[in-house]
Structure 1
Amino acid sequence: MITIKPITPQDLSALSQLYEELMGVPSNVRQMQKMFEYMERQGHYYVLGAFDQDQLVGSVMGIECMDLVGSCEPFMVIENVIVSDRVRRQGIGQKLMLQIEHIARDLRCAYIILVSGDQRKEAHIFYEKLGFKDEKVQGYRKHFN
């Protein structure tokens, strides 16, 4: 039975392992703990975990962003969507995404937005099945060392 619930500080070590599976590089767990505490204090970050019994098998993060355009409604950015290779295609990602969408609706967000690497074709199919539309926008990143 899969349970979706907020990530706690006790889950960060397991979350670090999931992120390594997603990104291919290990997380600095000590820095991760500091950042998690900061995010909790801010109150606009929602990090959910999918748990199979007590084992963390997936996660998603939503960030509530404020807007000054039009009616000034907030929106949510989705990041770090991961379901472990061991349990994919069992509906876990869908449960995570539906729960973060529920949070966004409760916050009265006008929309949710996410970006996905161009090479992640399987993920794109998954997002489209959940109702996300490929709007053919151009994304840019500038990394700092």
Structure 2
Amino acid sequence: MEVKKAMIQPIVTEDLPELQALYEELIGEGSNLAQVEAVFQKMRGNEAYHLLGYKVDGVLAGSVMGILCHDLVGSCKPFMVVENVIVSSRFQGHGVGKKLMLAIEKIANANACGYIMFVSSAYRKEAHQFYASLGYALDAVQGFRKML
């Protein structure tokens, strides 16, 4: 794949249709674009949210969201929760995911976060290998989720 121009930048409203398509690839179901736009506007007004996109020749190839969280435990350092890491199947294996994760880590470091945490579905073994290659360790904790 020959790349002319690639960059990481915050997601903007005009990116939402492409982002919605990436998320559909991630979870296998679509979203209501009007609802996505409404929630996105709320997120833009909250400095804790960092939604980044990686564009290759103007095409959204991947995205990651980091949310800064305050903490009242120990040294009270904030932490970051990472969600919705996605690289389009067309661009996997070209370093897009690594660049996105390093960019979100840079934001976490700039905000003095003590750690980054995220969950990944148990069946996503290739994703787990990817995260391990970036220095993330499978923690001894269990993830719990209750669908509401």
Tell me whether the two structures share a fold, i.e. TM-score over 0.5.
yes
Q: Distance in 2 between matches of 1:54 and 1:76?
A: 28
Structure 1 residue 136: Cα displacement: 2.6
> How much does 1:117 deviate?
0.2
- Residue in 1 aligned with 2:130? 126
Please name the residue that 1:74 is paired with.
78
Counterpart pick for 1:62 among 59, 66, 84: 66
For residue 79 of structure 1, report the CA deviation from its aligned partner. 0.4
Whole-angstrom CA distance in 2 between matches of 1:66 and 1:28: 31
Larger helix share, 1 or 2: 1
Q: In angstroms, what is the RMSD of aligned CA positions?
A: 0.7
Question: For 1:143 and 1:115, how far apart are their aligned partners in 2?
Answer: 15
Distance in 2 between residues matched to 1:69 and 1:22, nearest whole Å: 33
**Which residue is 1:24 aligned to?**
28
Letter in 2 for 1:95: K
> How far off its partner does 1:71 sit?
1.2
Write out the 4+ residue segments of structure 1 that deviate beyond 3 Å after TM superposition.
none
* Partner Cα separation in structure 1 for residue 114 and residue 140 of structure 2: 20
TM-score (norm 1): 0.97
Task: Number of aligned residue pairs: give it.
Answer: 144
Distance 2:32 2:48 in 1: 22
State the identity as a percent: 51
Unpaired runs of 5+ residues, structure 2, are none
Cα offset, 1:96, TM superposition: 0.3
